[in-house]
Amino acid sequence: MSTKELNIPHPDYPHLLISTSRALLDIPAIHATISQTYWAENIPYSILTTSIEHSLCIGIYDTSVQMDGKPKQIAFARWVTDYASFGWLSDVYVLDEYKRR
C-alpha cells in the first residue's frame, strides 16, 4: 500500500527532520546498526531490505550534517502494518551520539 510521504521538522530542534521518505533512508547504515542488535544479529542485507520495502518506515535526520548529499540519518523505526487496524513497531534505534540530547 502506498502512503503519503511525510516530512516534519522537529518543533524544538528545527535541524532534525522526521520523515517517511524512502529516498532518505540510509539502508547500508540501517543494516550496519540493525545487524549488531540482539534481535537481528547478522541479518542478511537482502532480508533487511525486503522487510523495509514491506513496512512503513520512519527516519529521523540531522539536516545540519550532510552525508552523500543527504541529511545524516540518526534514528529509524519500522512499522509492520495492514494500514487499517494493526501495527507492530520494530527495529527501533537512535544513534548513541544523539541519545539524551
Positive or negative: CA dihedral 66, 37, 94, 100: negative
- Domains of the chain in start order, with CATH, are 7-95 (3.40.630.30)
Per-residue pLDDT tens over the stretch 25-41 = 999 999 999 999 999 99
Q: Quick one: pLDDT at residue 2?
A: 55
| Owner of C-alpha cell 523495509 | 52
20 exposed, middle or buried (CB, 10 Å; 0-12, 13-18, 19+)? middle
Global pTM reads: 0.88
For 23-81, the DSSP string reads GG--HHHHHHHHTTSSSSTT--HHHHHHHHHTSEEEEEEEEEEEETTEEEEEEEEEEEE
- Which three cell numbers mark 15? 535541524
Per-residue pLDDT tens over the stretch 60-81 = 999 999 988 999 999 999 999 9
